[in-house]
Amino acid sequence: MPNYRRNHVSGGTFFFTVNLLNRNSDLLIANIELLRRVVRQTIQRRPFQIEAWVVLPEHMHCVWTLPVDDSDYAARWKEIKMQFSKALPKTEELSEARTVQGERGIWQRRYWEHTIRSDSDFAAHVDYCHINPFKHGLVEQVKDWPYSTFHRDVKRGIYPENWATGIPEIEAGEAQ
């Protein structure tokens, strides 16, 4: 079994990208209420702070901060993925390997994790979450995407509602 290099920092803040196996699916936004419920339930059992989150049709990006005495984000992702999958009907095609291992064919097995190391790193990754629907051409303005913590952060006064409009490098699709 591979030993993935993950940075486990108690109380750390992390950026994640989590993908569906079928990158042409809209399963996440089609089942957004289920995903929201599963995340809320996971937070109740294994607390973490959502700093930013955006859900796109087939992948999502988020920034979490864990409790000071906890570094186990993997258990949280396992629970979110498992509970979401269990609640869906079994309609996906399964490879032989997934069938043998008793897996569903919903999620990519792995996810991208990055440990946030500074205030500027934090700001860049939160911005990346919020700009993503625009970057992927799903909306003309960030405020038009409903599946994002951007709206929460506008209410908190962190972003203006028209954030990221009129920025040439973003309009050209060069946001990172």
The answer to whether 159 is a known catalytic residue is: no
Active-site residue (options: 4, 73, 128, 147)? 147
Can you tell me which residue has the tokens 């994002």? 148
Rounded-to-integer distance, Cα 18 and Cα 77, Å:
9
- Hey, which residues are catalytic here? 147
